[in-house]
Amino acid sequence: MSNDTIAKRNVAVLVAAQAILGAQMPMIFVIGGLAGGMLSPNPCLATLPISFIVFGSMTTAPWLSPLMQRRGRQFGFILGALGGAAGALTAAYGLYVGSFFILLAGSYLTGIYMSAQGFYRFAATDMASETYRPKAISYVMAGGLVSAIVGPQLNKVVQDAFVVPFLGSYLAVAVLNIAGLFLFFKLTLPKGTRTTPDPIPSVPARSRKEMLRDPRIIVAITCAMVSYALMNLVMTSTPLAVVGCGFTKNNANDIVSLHVLAMFVPSFFTGHLIARFGVEKIIGAGLIILAAAGVVALSGVELGNFFIALILLGLGWNFGFIGATTMLAGSHAPSERGVVQGMNDMIVFGMVTLASLASGGLMNCSGGTAVEGWSAVNYAMVPFLVLAGGALIWLNRREKRVTA
């Protein structure tokens, strides 16, 4: 059996995993802030359950990745699904007994699944030939599109199935994890994904301090941080704003569904756009689209405003984050890869954690009404967009001077 035959079978399994297990993420991002608002002692902490998911993912990756290197990705993916199931059941129990702290504990455990899910696209390439790898990644991402539709629609059915709101959603998430983990037994992957040493570089690897003085690395990290954090800031508050402005939880599910689709659908052609127009222009376009999302959100609180703003938010994230990731990948030597990517993830997801936490405070504690809170969330984007845009312009002018 050729490597690509094995790879195609693995991709089919991973696409199914993205579609089934991945459906839990849009579900939890819809209900997390609403459930937190029910139980939190302070409305400013309503989005803390979502912050704990991101924090759980950030703190899980440092030990999960080496564990998969030793024990294989299959082991890590099963562990991630078990973490997701345990998190959902713990959160469900927290809702049942009315404990905000137990809900937070469940959210943190959900972060284990979120971290494991991030490695699906890498597993798709483990047994693939060089020519099949880009397709393998695209197909696995396509599974994420299915989850973007399935999750919110399933949420509509189960979120009010019990007297306790959202209890049915968390129980459904537990079922998704338990059912989905059996998919991973169908994977054919190396038992341990050992890293092959890079060839000896022509230039010695730089220290962290030296790399953080590299203009392209600094700008890439800044743009990735701003793109991801602002997307999370606004998305986390969206269900609270939609319900607070008089619309239904089902409306919130539909808005988040289209938002997640807008995040991933462009991935099939973003790489081609970067190759044609250059990474700086695509990042700049992403920042402009994020700004447009804020303008639409601030222009009114009709249902159409929410839909259009969140679609633009997803598209802006895609261009900004993928563009920044591409810039970073081309800004360091192979021997520096681990250190640079580690710094990038620590900074980016640390900022995302802070953004999701700040989202609840801005939404619920910066005005007397949902409209005022939603406005505060969107106005908060301005200084960060100025920071990223200014950094990109500075880099462009600097490189033109160096070239001249």
What pLDDT does residue 283 have?
95
Q: What distance in Å separates the CA atoms of residue 194 and residue 200, rounded to the nearest whole number?
A: 18
pLDDT of residue 24: 94
CB atoms within 10 A of CB 387: 15
Strands (E), 138-288: none
- 207-404 in CATH: which number? 1.20.1250.20
Whether 3 has a pLDDT exceeding 70, the answer reads no
Residue pair 35/95 in contact by the 8 Å Cβ criterion: yes
Tell whether the model's pLDDT for residue 249 goes beyond 70.
yes
Chain segment 101-139, per-residue pLDDT in tens? 999 999 999 999 998 887 787 787 777 776 776 677 767
250 — pLDDT class (breaks 50, 70, 90): very high
User: Which range, of 75-79, 83-87, 202-206, 259-263, averages the lowest pLDDT?
Assistant: 202-206
Joined together, the tokens standing for residue 128 give 């693939």
For position 196, what pLDDT does the model report?
41
pLDDT at position 134:
63
CA 180 to chain centre: 20
If one compares 327 and 381, the residue with the highest pLDDT of the two is 381
How far apart (Å, rounded) are the C-alpha atoms in residues 131 and 1?
A: 17
Judged against a pLDDT cut of 50, whether residue 199 lies above it is answered with no
Q: How far apart are CA 18 and CA 346, in angstroms?
A: 24
In DSSP notation, 182-202 reads GGGGG----SS-PPPPPPPPS
pLDDT score recorded for residue 88 = 97
Q: What is the DSSP letter of 23?
A: G
3-state secondary structure of 383: helix
pLDDT digits (tens, 9 = 90+) for 83-100: 999 999 999 999 999 999
Q: What is the pLDDT of residue 342?
A: 66
CB-side neighbour CA atoms (13 Å) of 20: 18
d(CA 47, CA 38): 11
Give 265-318 pLDDT, tens digit per residue. 887 788 788 888 988 999 999 999 999 999 999 999 999 999 999 999 999 999
What stretch(es) of the chain map to CATH 1.20.1250.20? 1-194, 207-404
Task: Give domain 1-194's CATH number out of 1.20.1250.20, 2.60.40.10, 3.20.20.20, 1.20.59.10.
Answer: 1.20.1250.20
* pLDDT reading at 35 higher than 60: yes
